[in-house]
A and B are shown apart, each in its own frame.
Chain A
């Protein structure tokens, strides 16, 4: 027979906050919270004290003052009479430009190099190993400065294109000029242009959208959509009848024909750069700092992406390709249907962080004078206005929101391709 007695009622004592596991976690958390709040409060109080001593209260009015400096590579119209806010906006767009170009180039190069490193060809694999080790073990800043030095020192000056005995010449039948100030390529022009749509009037964040470009994009999207509908119709017919109708010319023409019609009616032609005076005029101008930054960042990041790609392909066990082969698949479909979908799951997460790294490394633009957000807001604006706290805070917030947005998008994509496990 057993007797049940109530457990002895424990009286609460202060020491239980530390020794009793039921309360300890709460105690620790409150302690940490108080500690952190105290530190934050201390920092804020110091900052307020220091700023009031300096006579610089926190305010963002400086953003609406005229910037009085020029931005030489830009996507929107801008003059030195525009505000610091507009200069920062252009800087941000420049960051996006170099990050976007860099990510695409780095991805293509990285995949090629990663696959080539696994090549059965001994020599090719060794060359790629040397490439990867060379770029991974030397600082990216050095590569950027080196690329800039190569641009400036080893390419011909615009002067070299001039005169009877010019030492340099343009490429592709006088349409591309590669000079030490940058690269000039043909620009798209429309003689019957539909004009621009201006938004936000005269404010600092005004921007124009070219209607021609919008029309072309709309036509392309419509074309690709129709093309994919035709494809699915073909697949449906194949499933029902067993015979696939030949549709490739239909698919090609629904994309190309409307595009050609639009290009014809808007009077599309290319504007070529030409040497006038001391420099080239016309065409699209890619400044040497942009090229150097783009080149260095993409070559550097490609080495890391190559390693990720290689690891992803090696992570797929040999049994997978053998099983696929025993099902009767040929090498092409084995790669496309079996190896790549699995390898991508391994490759994509580190790939995202490489893209983010590239975007963050683009802030090194300041070393070669490319006017990105660090060069405008964190560089000249900061130095001119003396608003260190505000400028750096804004810069950090901008980078933080860009990074968090990209990683959120990529995580969403990653979740959608993730293997559903037990």
Chain B
């Protein structure tokens, strides 16, 4: 037997991959020039990017930062870069950014909105990031009373009395629910709280503020403005619309026909009309609906309307989450002997809310963007202020810089919200995919 073999007996050593399919070159080949069609697209896209950047980058960075007026800006630009067009005049932002952020809020009181938003960060931390300290939850509970006090000022006793009303309600539920049952306890706690707010509380407020006057300087609502106003309306509406939305969604899914009918009617009505009509209602009609002589604050009216608006959308998002749960979850809860609220609290809602996180957050984002609409009814949000700035002689005719700054403010907030929702989705993901 000869030792010639026609079959290879030893393994070939591994060869490196062809240079054109690995590394940078390989990536370019696979992602940009894989077919002739892709190559054409890449060339067109490159041209497009070049065109945009060639316009935007010099405009943004070869710009004037210090000037007192638009004409001065143009003068400086002409001296530095000659006759060429397209240099941003960021001097307007340099000059007016405080106004765009705070509106006409008294300048010696800027620390109050700043403190309010810093505290907001701490109050939200335990809700947003579970690894943060649980003790901060106390701050989260107190924050709804701190925020209006810091923003509007006035006597400290009003928010404290409002808080005591809630404490009374809570105590009533806690002590009475074993004696007169859950439903009775809920009713009596609502009764106790309203009794406190409407009758006893105001007396105490007057008494205490006369004797122990601890108060912040009051700020009128017409002085509110700028990005602070947008954030304020946005935050209040976001915080209030989630619970209202949950209740409306439960009402719409409920077996109780009348409750269901009211929920459906409310949701469909609100979703069928544009927000601007509701803002008209807030600015023109809401005072008509209340007892004669009631004057209440325009910002509060707008907040109520924006909250109602977004809670209808929230209800639909959460209803989607409820509908996505398999029927077995409801039946499982029933078979464990849980009552309706226990089942909702322990079984249904945690899952339904988890499913609807993307929808909830995009409703929040939409709501926050919609706060710009208040400029149409004359509130001084950033867009309204930008018109005011343009009305000045110095800055007459300036558009792009103001729009770019306002767009950046909104983009940062909305984009971080959407990124947070993606983080939350990943964190709560329990299925293995």
Contacts and interface: CB of A to CB of B under 8 A. Distances in A.
A137 B418 contact: yes
A19 B372 CA distance: 48
Contact of B292 (A36, A46, A389): A46
Interface string B340-383: 00000000000000000000000001000111110110000001
Given A137-B411, A403-B271, A403-B273, A46 B45 contact: no
Given A28-B256, A360-B273, 4 more contacts: A50-B288, A364-B376, A388-B280, A399-B277
Interface in A398-422: 399-400, 403-404
B380 to A, nearest CB: 14
Nearest to B370: A139
B276 A388 contact: no
B407 interface: yes
B333 to A, nearest CB: 16
B42 A145 contact: no
Contact of B259 (A19, A28, A382, A404): A28
B262 interface: yes
6 contacts: A29-B258, A36-B262, A50-B287, A138-B410, A363-B276, A392-B277
Contacts of B414: 136-138
Interface in A194-236: none
Interface stretch (A116-124, A166-174, A237-245): A116-124
Contacts of B370: 139
> On chain B, which size bracket covers the interface?
35 or more
Contact of A19 (B45, B181, B274): B181
B289 A47 contact: yes
A139 B410 contact: yes
A323 interface: no
A400 B272 contact: yes
Interface residues of A, number: 55
B340 to A, nearest CB: 10
A378 B277 contact: yes
B198 interface: no
B272 A142 contact: no
B45 A121 contact: yes
Contacts of B262: 32, 36
B45 A399 contact: no
Nearest to B294: A46
B183 interface: yes
A3 B410 CA distance: 76
Contacts of A395: 277, 280
Nearest to A364: B276
A403 B376 contact: no
A153 interface: yes
B289 A145 contact: no
Kindly name the residue among B262, B268, B272, B406 whose own CB sees the greatest number of chain A CB atoms within 10 A: B272
Contact of A378 (B259, B280, B369, B399): B280
Kindly name the residue among A28, A29, A33, A47 whose own CB sees the greatest number of chain B CB atoms within 10 A: A29
A127 to B, nearest CB: 6
A123 B285 contact: no
A141 B372 contact: yes
A43 B281 CA distance: 14
B18 to A, nearest CB: 20
Interface string A311-340: 000000000000000000000000000000
B415 interface: yes
A374 B277 contact: yes
B269 interface: yes
B276 A53 contact: no
